[in-house]
Structure 1
Amino acid sequence: MNAANSPIRAVSVTTYGRLHLGFFDLSGQVQRRFGSVGVAIDAYQTALTISRQSQQSDIDPWAVNILQQHLKSVAADNQDDQLDLNIHQAIPRHSGLGSGTQMALAIGTGVNTLLNQPIYSANIAAIHHRGGRSGIGIATFDHGGLVVDGGRGPETIVPPLLARHAFPAEWHFLLIVDQSRDGLHGNGEKTAFKALPPQTPAATKDIQHQLLMQGLPALAERDFQAFSAFVGALQRYNADYFAPAQGGPYASQSVANILNGFKQQGFHGVGQTSWGPTGFVLLPSKEEAMQIQAALLQRYATDPHLSFIVTAAINNPARIEAKI
């Protein structure tokens, strides 16, 4: 099957960034590992269109490689010479926002839709070696909202979705972005996971209990304080584990200083997404988030590397639009 046999002329895909709130099993157990919690956010998007025509403009070689790899996987011989990939916007790379998974899923979904191929996000992710540890980016692509994946077992292709819940619209995150550095990624990330000592079984059982008996119930009941406390506990569990690889609880010292200030003021839902360097604080309303954002923008006006972004969660899946 190829584009010539399909009535679809173009496919547009829009997907969203995500916050990786943390793993809940870093004990190194061989039966099942990792398991993670994440939430889709509306501040960052990857939006692209794939159409039936030759490439019209230069694009990032990284995205070209994803496109070519995917075309090979669906046996679409020479289709890369007949498809135009137009990237309208992209989630920043190496910032802890899930850029790689979302680009791979967006391109793969667009190609499969155009070529009338089955669309299974887990299969597309596996083709591009996504979901090796965390499945939350795949789950947020499919569902939006807050998601929990089941980690990896011996036969796992991508971590399975265990729970999904709509995130309260009134709760907002304030992101603290350090544009002067990248979070750990690629071979550096793989090396770190091999070298880091495991978390203790006691700490692991405790955070898993908090997930089931505090975090998810608090979300269902819209209990902001209890959910924020769980996020803080999950972040501490992860920070203790990752600190040796990133020089402390957070990858960026500038972000760390601001997050520590939030903690001193009594905020609980404070942390770093994935390997960072992006940090966040969970706040009960958009109004409060914007007030704090304004104060930080004024305080750090002379620092060109720091930015502060207010974002809500997004409870919708990726948007896929086919044009005939």
Structure 2
Amino acid sequence: MNGRIITSSRLHLTLIDLNGERGRLDGGVGLTLKDPKLIIKAKPNGELKTEFAEKNLQWDLIKEYSAKIEEAAKRTLNYLKSNQRLDFIIEKAFPAHSGLGSGTQVSLAIAKLITSFHEVEMDSWELARIVGRGGTSGIGVASFEYGGFIVDGGHSKKEKTDFLPSSASRASPPPVIARYDFPEDWNIIVAIPKINRQVSGRKEVNIFQEYCPIPLGEVERLSHIILMKMMPSVIEEDIDSFGEAINEIQRIGFKKVERKLQHPIIDNIIENMLSTGAAGAGMSSFGPAVYAVTDTNPKDILRAAKETMDDIGGLALITNARNSGAEYE
């Protein structure tokens, strides 16, 4: 019996509390996207082999996905105490280490395919614990389970005592404290410039250690914006207020650090999308993916992003929110 799963990328709008004085760390705000998406097919009686249906994929992407798939598969099979191996075919993929959450999505997708093949029912949080995801942000796990606009509550300092990215944290995925459908008629423009200044691994760990704790006053200001501006604007479908909130959080807390450490092209793309009429624009996670929201002129904003990337190249597209989780067939 073959299995197939479709899951989506996500935007990580901001981490909330990298101060910890109130007794919790992390917390996050994110949004699930319809595109780009990940589609993986599993075939039984295999050798944990990974094939790629798409042609002309970059070697770095193939290597990264293959490693993530092998690790997630081995963890899941060990948990199930199973020797039954599958092969995996990647029918569609999106860039790794781009700020769109590929690591969590591919790991959860593999765990879901294997557990489903074994007729074992588990929710996304159980799968995340098995494959070691969600140790800082819970946005990717909640996107896989629910989709939509998500706020997670971070980790108690009783469980997580230090500032670490998800890749280096063994904490359990954090609780979702708010989840709303995001207006599907709001267009989201995503641009991923082709730059090498990507942040992951040991480099990401070092950044957390160097720049944290974030001053409490900035965390409190950010929390106020999220609670009293961003969240209500999603519920009331007020794109102007939502855009203002996005723009404000670019200059506060850990997001300010993430922006500071990225390539100057990031600022240029964001500024050009805003000047073309986007209600709000920002960088997802550590980038290099950037995004803008609009309900009026998405093609103009897309053109502005592409023109800014003319000299270096990159991917740009118009998409919308996805208000449902991963689909298993």
When structure 1 is superposed on structure 2, of 251-260 and 220-229 the one drifting more is 251-260
The answer for unaligned runs of 5 or more in structure 2 is 52-65, 160-170
- Report the TM-score, using the length of structure 1 for normalisation: 0.86
C-alpha distance in 1 between matches for 2:50 and 2:14: 36
Deviates more, 1:130-139 or 1:256-265: 256-265
* Aligned residue-pair number: 303
Equivalent residue in structure 1 for 2:260, among 249, 252, 256: 249
23, 44, 56: which one aligns with 1:31: 23
Equivalent of 1:191 in 206, 215, 219: 206
Q: Which moved more, 1:10-19 or 1:117-126?
A: 117-126
1:270 to 272, 281, 284: 281
Check whether the contact 1:23–1:234 (CA below 8 A) recurs between aligned residues. Answer: no
Q: CA distance change for structure 1 residues 191 and 295 in 2, over 3 Å: closer, same or farther?
A: closer
> Relative to structure 2, which stretch is displaced further, 164-173 or 232-241?
232-241
**How do residues 148-297 of structure 1 correspond to structure 2 at under 5 angstroms?**
148-153=151-156, 154-155=158-159, 157-181=172-196, 183-238=198-253, 241-243=256-258, 249=260, 251-263=262-274, 267=278, 269-285=280-296, 288-297=297-306
- Which segment is superposed worse, 138-147 or 304-313? 304-313
Residue 132 (str. 1) matches residue 135 (str. 2)? yes
Q: Choose the corresponding residue for 2:43, options 40, 46, 51.
A: 51
Alpha-carbon distance in structure 2 between the residues aligned to 1:211 and 1:56: 43
Structure 1 residue corresponding to 2:108, chosen from 105, 109, 123: 105
Distance 2:113 2:213 in 1: 39
Matched to 1:108, the amino acid is A
Aligned 8 A contact 1:25 1:35 in 2: yes
Cα deviation code 1:56-82 (max 9, x no counterpart): 965424322321222112111x222xx
Whether contact under 8 Å (2:68, 2:106) holds in the other structure is: no
Deviation at 1:135, TM superposition (A): 0.1
Match status 1:79 vs 2:84: yes
How far 1:312 sits from its partner (Å)?
Answer: 0.8
CA RMSD of aligned residues (A): 2.2
Measure, in 1, the Cα distance between the counterparts of 2:127 and 2:84.
Answer: 17
Q: Is the 8 A contact 2:193 2:312 kept in 1?
A: no
Distance 1:279 1:10 in 2: 36
Aligned residue type for 2:132:
H
Q: Deviations over 1:233-258 (max 9, x none)?
A: 22221456425xxxx53622222212
Cα distance change, pair 317–182 in 1 and its aligned pair in 2 (3 A): farther
Report the Cα distance in structure 2 between the residues aligned to 1:57 and 1:25, rounded to whole angstroms: 40
Q: Which consecutive aligned stretches of 4+ in structure 1 deviate over 6 angstroms post-superposition?
A: none
Determine helix, strand or coil for the equivalent of 1:132.
Answer: coil
What's the CA shift for 1:47? Answer: 0.9
- Structure 1 segments unaligned to the other structure (5+ residues): 1-8
CA distance in 2, matches of 1:121, 1:217: 27
One-letter identity of the residue aligned with 1:234: I
State how far apart, in whole Å, the 1-side matches of 2:50 and 2:139 are: 31
- Alpha-carbon distance in 1 for matches of 2:202, 2:243: 33
The 8 Å contact of residues 95 and 102 in structure 2, kept in 1 or not, is answered as: yes
User: What CA distance in whole angstroms lies between the structure 1 residues aligned with 2:238 and 2:75?
Assistant: 44
The question of whether the paired residues in 1 share the 8 Å contact of 2:28 and 2:153 is answered with yes
Structure 1 range deviating more: 92-101 or 248-257: 248-257
CA distance in 2, matches of 1:95, 1:18: 11
Deviation of 1:300 (Å): 4.8
Secondary structure of the equivalent of 1:35?
Answer: strand
